[in-house]
Amino acid sequence: MSEEPAPQGPTGTPTASSGTAPGPQPEPLRFFGTTWVAHDGGYGARRAGVAVGSLVGAAAGCFVLRFAYEGLTIAAVGTLVNALVVVMFAICSALAFRRTWEGFTRRHDAESQSSTRGLMAIGFVGSLLAYFLRSLSEAPGEKLHRKEYEAAREQYTKRTERRTGNPSRKKRKR
């Protein structure tokens, strides 16, 4: 048996009849879903898991890069190539760290995201370290999503407060 999907409004958000509160719904975060809103549903354990997972991933990535460097040394490609590879990974990791860190506080446009995809892939260690450091204080991206969600809730409240009652029944001033 499959469940029917919840009825959705024109914006793709569930409507009030689906059991959720009317108005804008919080955007889920990777690994956290919507637990970041009220810090419930294992939020602390998820944050710890993201911190440990990203640190282990960064360490594993460094281990793999070490093997690649040793392969270059065994191939005797020369000190210039070895130095260039090390500098390339260091710079790409630093840029990926900065870009990932900025992405936690502001959204990047789709064009710039696609143009830096290769840099982010090469500097994956920097991105993982950014995730690790941010998860020590909050869910990565929580501050940005909270700010956007609260602004949407505030705007929704202002819109709905103005529309009370049936406007056709309004008494006309004479």
Which range, 28-32, 90-94, 101-105, 140-144, is most confident? 90-94
Instruction: List the Cα angle 33/152/38 in 5-degree steps.
Output: 40
The answer to pTM > 0.85 is: no
Nearest CA-CA partner of 13 in 165, 144, 152: 152
Percent composition of the chain: helix, strand, coil (DSSP 3-state, to 5): 60, 0, 35
Are the C-beta atoms of residues 117 and 1 closer than 8 Å to each other?
no
pLDDT value of position 162: 67
> Hey, which residues does 33 pair with through a beta bridge?
29
- Cα separations in angstroms, 156 against 23, 24, 34, 150: 6, 7, 19, 10
Q: Is 152 left (phi over 0), alpha (psi -120 to 50) or beta?
A: alpha
- For 11-45, what is each residue's pLDDT tens digit? 444 444 455 678 888 888 888 888 888 888 888 89
- For 81-90, what is each residue's pLDDT tens digit? 999 999 999 9
